[in-house]
Amino acid sequence: MELKVSKLNKEAVLPSYSYEDDAGFDLYSVEEVSVDPSRRFQIKTGIAMQIPAGYVGLIWDKSGLSHKFGIKTLGGVIDSGYRGEIIVGIINLSDENHTFKKGEKIGQMIIQKKENCEIVEVENLEEAERGDRGFGSSGKKVN
Protein backbone atom coordinates (compact mmCIF):
# COMPACT_ATOMS: atom_id res chain seq x y z
CA MET A 1 0.00 0.00 0.00
CA GLU A 2 1.20 3.49 -0.78
CA LEU A 3 0.68 6.35 1.70
CA LYS A 4 1.11 9.79 0.16
CA VAL A 5 2.60 12.32 2.61
CA SER A 6 3.14 16.02 2.02
CA LYS A 7 5.44 18.27 4.06
CA LEU A 8 3.62 21.43 5.12
CA ASN A 9 6.77 22.66 6.86
CA LYS A 10 10.26 22.22 5.39
CA GLU A 11 11.55 21.09 8.82
CA ALA A 12 8.97 18.31 9.14
CA VAL A 13 10.20 14.73 9.46
CA LEU A 14 8.44 12.17 7.29
CA PRO A 15 6.82 9.29 9.21
CA SER A 16 8.95 6.17 9.42
CA TYR A 17 8.92 2.64 10.76
CA SER A 18 11.66 1.86 13.29
CA TYR A 19 11.63 -1.85 12.48
CA GLU A 20 10.36 -3.77 9.45
CA ASP A 21 7.68 -5.66 11.40
CA ASP A 22 6.34 -2.65 13.35
CA ALA A 23 2.58 -2.13 13.11
CA GLY A 24 2.84 1.63 13.52
CA PHE A 25 5.05 4.27 11.97
CA ASP A 26 6.45 7.09 14.08
CA LEU A 27 5.16 10.65 13.98
CA TYR A 28 7.53 13.53 14.80
CA SER A 29 7.11 16.98 16.31
CA VAL A 30 7.83 19.92 14.03
CA GLU A 31 8.06 22.28 17.01
CA GLU A 32 9.51 22.42 20.51
CA VAL A 33 6.71 22.08 23.04
CA SER A 34 6.75 22.03 26.82
CA VAL A 35 3.80 20.30 28.49
CA ASP A 36 3.08 20.89 32.17
CA PRO A 37 1.81 18.07 34.42
CA SER A 38 -1.89 17.25 34.03
CA ARG A 39 -2.16 19.42 30.93
CA ARG A 40 -3.26 18.64 27.37
CA PHE A 41 -1.52 19.96 24.29
CA GLN A 42 -1.72 19.63 20.51
CA ILE A 43 1.61 18.97 18.83
CA LYS A 44 2.01 19.73 15.13
CA THR A 45 3.78 17.28 12.83
CA GLY A 46 4.11 19.60 9.83
CA ILE A 47 2.75 16.89 7.50
CA ALA A 48 -0.52 16.01 5.78
CA MET A 49 -1.34 12.64 4.30
CA GLN A 50 -3.69 10.94 1.91
CA ILE A 51 -4.93 7.82 3.68
CA PRO A 52 -6.41 5.49 1.05
CA ALA A 53 -10.21 5.20 0.87
CA GLY A 54 -11.44 2.29 2.99
CA TYR A 55 -8.72 2.83 5.60
CA VAL A 56 -8.25 4.93 8.72
CA GLY A 57 -5.16 6.21 10.51
CA LEU A 58 -5.15 5.53 14.27
CA ILE A 59 -2.73 7.51 16.43
CA TRP A 60 -1.38 5.63 19.45
CA ASP A 61 1.10 6.20 22.26
CA LYS A 62 4.78 5.52 21.94
CA SER A 63 5.24 2.91 24.67
CA GLY A 64 8.45 4.51 25.99
CA LEU A 65 6.76 7.91 26.38
CA SER A 66 3.71 6.45 28.09
CA HIS A 67 5.49 4.02 30.41
CA LYS A 68 8.50 6.16 31.31
CA PHE A 69 7.01 9.67 31.27
CA GLY A 70 3.20 9.35 31.53
CA ILE A 71 2.59 10.88 28.09
CA LYS A 72 -0.65 9.61 26.47
CA THR A 73 -2.16 10.41 23.08
CA LEU A 74 -5.73 11.67 22.77
CA GLY A 75 -8.41 11.40 20.09
CA GLY A 76 -6.32 9.82 17.36
CA VAL A 77 -8.74 8.88 14.55
CA ILE A 78 -7.70 10.28 11.17
CA ASP A 79 -10.29 9.66 8.43
CA SER A 80 -9.26 8.99 4.83
CA GLY A 81 -10.97 12.17 3.61
CA TYR A 82 -8.94 14.46 5.89
CA ARG A 83 -6.13 16.36 4.15
CA GLY A 84 -5.10 18.81 6.86
CA GLU A 85 -2.07 18.76 9.12
CA ILE A 86 -1.68 15.72 11.34
CA ILE A 87 -1.77 17.02 14.90
CA VAL A 88 -1.16 14.74 17.86
CA GLY A 89 -3.19 15.47 21.00
CA ILE A 90 -1.32 14.49 24.15
CA ILE A 91 -1.78 14.70 27.91
CA ASN A 92 0.97 14.68 30.50
CA LEU A 93 -0.20 12.36 33.30
CA SER A 94 3.05 12.71 35.26
CA ASP A 95 4.01 15.13 38.03
CA GLU A 96 6.81 16.64 35.95
CA ASN A 97 7.02 18.96 32.95
CA HIS A 98 7.91 17.18 29.69
CA THR A 99 9.55 18.95 26.76
CA PHE A 100 9.31 17.63 23.22
CA LYS A 101 12.13 18.80 21.00
CA LYS A 102 11.71 19.54 17.30
CA GLY A 103 12.10 16.27 15.38
CA GLU A 104 11.32 14.06 18.40
CA LYS A 105 8.91 11.11 18.22
CA ILE A 106 5.52 12.03 19.69
CA GLY A 107 3.27 9.14 18.74
CA GLN A 108 2.72 6.44 16.18
CA MET A 109 0.08 5.77 13.56
CA ILE A 110 -1.39 2.49 12.42
CA ILE A 111 -3.20 2.36 9.08
CA GLN A 112 -6.10 -0.06 9.34
CA LYS A 113 -8.99 -1.21 7.15
CA LYS A 114 -12.33 0.12 8.30
CA GLU A 115 -15.84 -1.23 8.09
CA ASN A 116 -19.00 0.83 7.88
CA CYS A 117 -21.95 -0.57 9.78
CA GLU A 118 -25.58 -0.21 8.87
CA ILE A 119 -27.06 1.37 12.01
CA VAL A 120 -30.38 -0.31 12.80
CA GLU A 121 -32.62 0.68 15.71
CA VAL A 122 -34.23 -2.28 17.51
CA GLU A 123 -36.53 -2.59 20.52
CA ASN A 124 -34.41 -5.25 22.25
CA LEU A 125 -30.95 -6.73 21.87
CA GLU A 126 -30.26 -10.47 21.83
CA GLU A 127 -29.24 -12.02 25.14
CA ALA A 128 -25.52 -12.66 25.74
CA GLU A 129 -23.62 -14.52 28.47
CA ARG A 130 -22.11 -11.28 29.80
CA GLY A 131 -25.30 -9.29 29.51
CA ASP A 132 -25.07 -5.75 30.89
CA ARG A 133 -22.30 -6.49 33.41
CA GLY A 134 -19.68 -3.78 32.79
CA PHE A 135 -16.29 -2.91 34.18
CA GLY A 136 -14.72 -5.73 36.21
CA SER A 137 -17.42 -8.20 35.19
CA SER A 138 -14.96 -11.03 34.53
CA GLY A 139 -13.51 -10.84 38.05
CA LYS A 140 -9.99 -10.65 39.34
CA LYS A 141 -7.46 -13.26 38.22
CA VAL A 142 -5.85 -15.07 41.13
CA ASN A 143 -2.70 -17.13 40.57
CA–CA dist 125, 129 (Å, integer): 13
Predicted confidence (pLDDT) at residue 140 exceeds the cutoff of 90: no
Mean pLDDT across the chain: 95
State the distance between the two ends of the chain, measured CA to CA, in whole angstroms.
44
What's the average model confidence in pLDDT over 18-27?
A: 96
Confidence band for 2, pLDDT divided at 50, 70 and 90? very high
Burial 81-101 (b: 16+ CB within 10 A, else e): eeeebbbbebbbeeeeebebe
What's the average model confidence in pLDDT over 61-69?
A: 95
Kindly report, residue by residue over 29-49, the tens digit of the pLDDT. 999 999 999 999 999 999 999
Domain ranges of the chain: 4-113
With H, G, I as helix, E, B as strand and everything else as coil, classify residue 118.
Answer: coil
Which CATH number describes the domain made up of 4-113? Answer: 2.70.40.10
Strand partners for 47: 7
What's the pTM? 0.89
What's the average model confidence in pLDDT over 110-130?
A: 95
Residue 119 is predicted with a pLDDT of 96
